[in-house]
């Protein structure tokens, strides 16, 4: 098998791509210069006053940027589509990667077609597709979500298998046994960088959103009464949150992963407390809503208690540790000790920030007239907090949720980079970057590829948050 070039038989398009990219760069530079020195651009209108186009040199540069950008996107899609339909390797590395990602492309197409078709019925999610920035961010995020879901079908080699002849090999190098290529090259141990990045996405997609959800459950459950009642409760909870926020995050993680602290069971005990909050929140939610229907409320509380309690015990407990309640045959959630430490640490660090955001929003909203109207009707405090105040705080909280997933993703990368929490052979992006950066002078791709993956996911989350903020402000 021969080594793969980046574009293979599609190399005829490379000069066109380079030319279009150069023209786009020149158009952007021209637009920036004209925006600084040119007079205010004129606008051409029809007789009835409708807009035709911008006039002058600035208008021409604006149109040039738009058309060259669309041309560049079309050429990029050509590489992707050709890679899917052409035989494996014919379209080079880009085409081979595109073919491996076929389930992801298909899922994205179906998702966007259905979302655009029914967007007027989908509330804030549907309005997201009215924002180009939000739609791009959503596409990037869902790309990595689907990549994590289909990772077992996308990877080309086992993430832990080491081939001595593939150490630090360049992207597109064929394996000695002729079973394929290392599409993104090999790392310092001869492992496939492409497969490790794809497998690492599953770790990020599992930990970051769920840890953020747990942190929001803790922050909302404590922030609502702190802001609503005020007084000593607010003072005490605010003091605790400020105390946690004042502690250096990295030092806190170092303490949690030290063998002496792990042997005491402190991370698991911390998880025992933190992971109770989702159950508490759901019970308070149901009780406040169905308080006037005791029979229905009691049944729902019983279901939450049994089902939630079972998953809670399975989640915090692990056979052979200090917290082990369920027998191994009934323990359906097996989370390695290192991953549990990372999960608990992320929840613990993010919860005080969410608490402060929720508390601040409640302090503002509780002075509104509809809250006073609910109090006048004799509504119970928790009903007002959850069903009157919380829905009206959804805009800022949804935006912060997306941003916080990005922060958590960066935090996970930082922990992996410093070797905290996850095992050294883990394919998480932080550990992969740390392993690759040691030999940057010899081979750059083992560190650059996971770094770009991490950057793209965080960028997508930030763009998604901007789109949601833009649409929520229109409500």
Which residue is listed with tokens 């899922």? Answer: 107
**Continuous segment of H or E residues that includes residue 54:** strand 51-54
Give the list of residues 6+ apart from residue 336 with CB closer than 8 angstroms, or none.
423
Query: Does 349 map to a domain?
Result: yes
Give the CB-side neighbour count of residue 300, counting CA atoms within 13 A: 15
How much is the pLDDT for 320?
60
Distance, CA of 134 to CA of 463 (rounded, Å) = 6
Distance, CA of 390 to CA of 359 (rounded, Å) = 11
Alpha helices in 230-336 (DSSP H): 231-246, 249-257, 259-264, 266-274, 277-289, 294-303, 309-316
Pick from 13, 137, 143: which is nearest to 74 by CA? 13
Distance, CA of 222 to CA of 209 (rounded, Å) = 20
Three-class DSSP category at 181: strand
Q: What is the DSSP letter of 164?
A: G
Question: If phi over 0 gives left and psi between -120 and 50 gives alpha, with beta otherwise, what is residue 21?
Answer: alpha
Angle, helix 56-85 to helix 92-100, in steps of 10 degrees: 70
Q: Which of 100, 116, 133 is the last residue of a domain?
A: 100
CATH number at residue 281: 1.10.3720
Query: Does 121 map to a domain?
Result: no
How much is the pLDDT for 261?
76
Domain span holding position 367: 195-461
How many other CB atoms are found less than 10 A from the CB of residue 133? 17
Distance, CA of 16 to CA of 18 (rounded, Å) = 5
Give the list of residues 6+ apart from residue 406 with CB closer than 8 angstroms, or none.
457, 458, 461, 462, 465
What DSSP assignment string belongs to 311-352? HHHHHH--TTSS---S-TTT------HHHHHHHHHHHHHHHH
Query: Does 392 map to a domain?
Result: yes
CA distances from 443 to 22, 344, 455 (A): 28, 35, 20
Asked if 87 and 215 sit in the same domain, the reply is no
Sign of the Cα pseudo-torsion (123, 124, 125, 128, in order)? positive
Structure tokens at 93: 């590395």
Q: Which of 100, 134, 166 is the last residue of a domain?
A: 100
Asked if 90 and 229 sit in the same domain, the reply is no
Query: Does 161 map to a domain?
Result: no
Which residues in the chain show pLDDT less than 70? Answer: 37-56, 318-324, 326-332, 334-337, 421, 473-475
Query: Does 374 map to a domain?
Result: yes
Q: Are the CB atoms for 368 and 450 separated by under 8 Å?
A: no
| Number of residues assigned to the chain | 475
Q: Are the CB atoms for 471 and 395 separated by under 8 Å?
A: no
Give residue-wise pLDDT tens across range 137-167.
Answer: 999 999 999 999 999 999 998 888 888 888 8
Asked if 201 and 73 sit in the same domain, the reply is no
Query: Does 357 map to a domain?
Result: yes
CA distances from 109 to 102, 105, 117, 348 (A): 11, 6, 12, 37
CA distances from 210 to 206, 346, 457 (A): 6, 10, 16
How many domains is the chain built from?
2
Q: Which of 100, 130, 163 is the last residue of a domain?
A: 100
Pick from 363, 350, 73: which is nearest to 214 by CA? 350
Query: Does 272 map to a domain?
Result: yes
Distance, CA of 407 to CA of 290 (rounded, Å) = 36
Pick from 217, 228, 254: which is nearest to 350 by CA? 217
Question: Please, what is the end-to-end C-alpha distance for the chain in angstroms?
Answer: 58
Pick from 472, 427, 474: which is nearest to 454 by CA? 427
How much is the pLDDT for 240?
92
Pick from 203, 210, 182, 193: which is nearest to 346 by CA? 210
Asked if 216 and 339 sit in the same domain, the reply is yes
How much is the pLDDT for 436?
85
Query: Does 116 map to a domain?
Result: no
How much is the pLDDT for 74?
92
């Amino acid at each position: 098998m021969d080594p793969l070039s980046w574009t293979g038989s599609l190399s005829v398009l490379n000069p066109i791509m380079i030319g279009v990219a150069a023209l786009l760069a020149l158009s952007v530079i021209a637009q920036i210069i004209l925006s600084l020195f040119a007079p205010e651009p004129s606008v051409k209108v029809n007789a009835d006053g409708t807009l035709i186009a911008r006039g002058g040199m600035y208008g021409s540069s604006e149109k040039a940027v738009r058309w060259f950008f669309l041309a560049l996107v079309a050429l990029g899609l050509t590489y992707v589509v050709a890679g899917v339909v052409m035989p494996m390797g014919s379209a080079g590395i880009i085409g081979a990667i595109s073919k491996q990602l076929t389930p992801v492309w298909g899922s994205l197409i179906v998702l966007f077609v259905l979302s655009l078709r029914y967007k007027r019925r989908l509330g804030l999610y549907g309005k997201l597709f009215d924002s180009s920035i939000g739609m791009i961010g959503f596409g990037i995020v869902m790309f990595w979500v689907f990549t994590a879901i289909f990772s077992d079908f996308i990877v080309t080699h086992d993430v832990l298998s080491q081939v001595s002849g593939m150490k630090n090999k360049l992207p597109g190098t064929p394996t000695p046994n002729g079973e394929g290529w290392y599409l993104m090259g090999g790392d310092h141990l001869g492992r496939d960088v492409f497969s490790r990045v794809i497998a690492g996405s599953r770790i990020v997609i599992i930990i970051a959103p769920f840890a953020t959800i747990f942190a929001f459950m803790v922050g909302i459950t404590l922030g609502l009464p702190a802001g609503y009642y005020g007084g000593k409760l607010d003072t005490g909870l605010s003091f605790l949150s400020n105390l946690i926020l004042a502690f250096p995050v990295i030092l806190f993680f170092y303490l949690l992963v030290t063998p002496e602290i792990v042997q005491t069971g402190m991370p698991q005990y911390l998880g025992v407390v933190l992971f109770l909050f989702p159950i508490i929140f759901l019970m308070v939610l149901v009780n406040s809503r169905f308080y006037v229907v005791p029979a229905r409320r009691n049944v729902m509380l019983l279901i939450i208690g049994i089902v939630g309690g079972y998953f809670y015990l399975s989640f915090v407990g692990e056979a052979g540790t200090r917290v082990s309640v369920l027998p191994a045959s009934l323990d359906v959630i097996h989370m390695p000790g290192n991953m549990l430490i990372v999960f608990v640490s992320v929840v613990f660090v993010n919860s005080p920030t969410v608490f402060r955001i929720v508390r601040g929003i409640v302090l503002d909203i509780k002075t509104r007239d509809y809250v006073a109207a609910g109090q006048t009707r004799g509504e119970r405090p928790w009903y007002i907090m959850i069903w009157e105040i919380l829905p009206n705080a959804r805009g800022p909280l949804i935006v912060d949720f997306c941003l916080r997933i990005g922060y958590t993703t960066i935090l996970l990368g930082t922990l992996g980079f410093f070797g905290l929490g996850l095992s050294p052979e883990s394919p998480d992006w932080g550990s992969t970057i740390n392993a690759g950066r040691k030999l940057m002078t010899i081979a750059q791709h083992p560190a650059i590829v996971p770094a770009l993956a991490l950057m793209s996911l965080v960028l997508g989350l930030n763009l998604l948050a901007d789109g949601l903020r833009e649409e929520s402000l229109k409500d």
